[in-house]
Structure 1
């Protein structure tokens, strides 16, 4: 009984609230109902003018929705473009690092190939050299306008002594002038302090090969009676008893009537040398 009473009270309250609405609110409600019925009626009517209005209305709505969606799509495309740019930049940096590493590996491989080639030549020389000859690596290349020398990685520990001849391949390039236990200094023929007794062939003329630093060594104390020509070969003479005779050094090059020597070995390209152990000062 009480349940029925409460339900009636709710209905009465709703009717009372509706009746208390102002005339404007009532009109708005009836207008909405009327418009809803009117649009449903228009949707059911198959008139040409109505269909055209309906199509125009739908097109307007669709175009409006499309225009409204442009900012959202544009913002999404900007974000996507930004992400692609970031990824592209990261890939560029990665490729740059890979390229740098690849160039470093190529350079290292070329260096190893060059060193391997030099070591092969050294092995070939060692197989045909005297059993007493010693081989060494150039540790330091001391070059200046007038002073030229090498520091090599053998010394007293390999029975190296002052005055021994130093060769690059078969060519004479200098002599030992300072010996430590694990290293030695080689005075090159281009050094200002280098004076080597030589023999010029085929004339058989004796001379002194004098170093001039960066300039080509010159032949001094040549006999004027002998005919020296460009291209004549120059060898150690062995006259002073310091070096074995007949070690090739270079060939004659005449410039402005000055007899110079073009060395057979490029002193700037020497990495390994050979020391004639039997050639030593008395």
Structure 2
């Protein structure tokens, strides 16, 4: 039993020695071949030159063939990246083109509106002296009452029915005056009803307050052409407000024609009151 085990150990050791000899021989062979190839550079005879040339061609061609799949993959990746970048650039250009086209359309529309408005108000300039600037003292805001208390009254020439503006936009009218204060009924109050026109088709309607951030267009003619983006102005047909004061823009929701006011009626600090001269409407 002991002898057989010793034979087995000797056999394994011999195998490893043979394997080590083979590895040494392989390494030695590669070194010899490398030296021979390098030494060929120093010989200029015809057969050696041809052999050297053929060997280099084989190496170069082999390197090219081996690297070809990697090069193709790299080129394909670059092309895909270029295509994606080109697609993204195309999308950006289309968006810019759409935005430019939209801005051009808006510019044309506003130019048209400006011409109509100038013609509508007979091109009479609104002088700065026709207004009085007031400060908001109290904001009476509730689900039913939308009004402001301002710091000037009839002592400053303010009277009932005068228009209240935020910048150049209509926001309400004076409904109560005291010596040093007045109350303004805002256009979104449930009791507010203002005759208006809707441009560009000059459609007459009544703007009712809804108690919210929007007004409602009512008493429109049948088959009206009121649509999103139309501008709403005072018509002046009631003899109280001057015509052509901008109020807001139409937003149609489920067939209901709302008016989004140009002014944020919850953020008013100062209000302009427009004087009404006697004989002026």
Interval containing the TM-score (normalised by the shorter chain): 0.5 to 0.7
The answer as to 2:128 corresponding to 1:148 is no
Q: Work out which of the residue numbers 226, 230, 245 in structure 1 matches 2:243.
A: 245
Shift in Å, 1:130: 2.9
Give the drift of 1:251. Answer: 0.6
Match of 2:231 in 1: 233
Aligned pair in 2 of structure 1 residues 229, 279: CA closer, same or farther (>3 Å)? farther
Bigger Rg over Cα: 1
Unmatched runs of 5 consecutive residues or more in structure 2 = 1-125
Which stretches of structure 1, 4 residues or longer, exceed 3 Å deviation after superposition?
Answer: 279-282
Asked if the contact 2:136/2:271 (under 8 Å) is kept, the reply is: yes
**Aligned equivalent of 1:269:** 267
Q: For residue 187 of structure 2, what is the aligned residue in structure 1?
A: 189
State the TM-score, normalizing by the size of structure 1. 0.53
Structure 2: how far apart are the matches of 1:247 and 1:279?
Answer: 17
How many angstroms does 1:279 deviate by? Answer: 6.4
Distance 1:278 1:130, change over 3 A: farther
Partner secondary structure for residue 214 of structure 1: coil
1:200 is the counterpart of 2:211? no
The answer for the alignment partner of 1:67 in structure 2 is none
SS at match of 2:197: strand
Provide the rounded CA distance (Å) in 2 between the counterparts of 1:210 and 1:279. Answer: 26
2:256 is matched with which residue: 255, 258, 275? 258
Q: State whether structure 2 residue 137 is matched by structure 1 residue 139.
A: yes
* 3-state SS of 1:131 partner: helix
TM-aligned CA deviation for residue 256 of structure 1:
1.2
Give the paired residue count.
Answer: 155
Aligned partners of 2:189 and 2:277: how far apart in 1? Answer: 20
Q: After superposition, where does 1:103-182 map in structure 2 within 5 Å?
A: 129-182=127-180
CA distance in 1, matches of 2:157, 2:193: 24
- Is the 8 Å Cα contact of residues 146 and 214 (structure 1) preserved in structure 2? no
Deviation of 1:211 (Å): 0.4
Bigger shift: residues 207-216 or 231-240 = 207-216
Q: Distance in 2 between matches of 1:250 and 1:132?
A: 23
Query: Equivalents in 1 of 2:260, 2:202: separation in Å?
Result: 18
Is contact 1:203–1:226 with CA below 8 Å preserved after alignment? no
Determine if the alignment matches structure 1 residue 212 to structure 2 residue 210. yes
Partner of 2:101: none
How many angstroms apart in 2 are the aligned matches of 1:179 and 1:215? 26
The one-character-per-residue Cα deviations of 1:95-120 (angstroms, maximum 9, x if unpaired) are xxxxxxxxxxxxxxxxxxxxxxxxxx
Q: Distance in 2 between matches of 1:159 and 1:234?
A: 29
**Aligned with 2:223: secondary structure?**
coil
- After superposition, the CA RMSD in angstroms is 1.7
- Please say if residues 235 and 242 of structure 2, whose CA atoms lie closer than 8 Å, have aligned partners that are also in contact: yes
CA offset at residue 132 of structure 1? 2.6
Q: Trace 1:89-104 onto structure 2 (pairs within 5 A).
A: none
- Asked whether the 8 Å contact 1:163–1:279 carries over to 2, the reply is no
Structure 1, residues 127-185: CA drift from partner, whole Å, max 9, x if none?
Answer: x8431311100000010112100000000110100000000000000000000000000
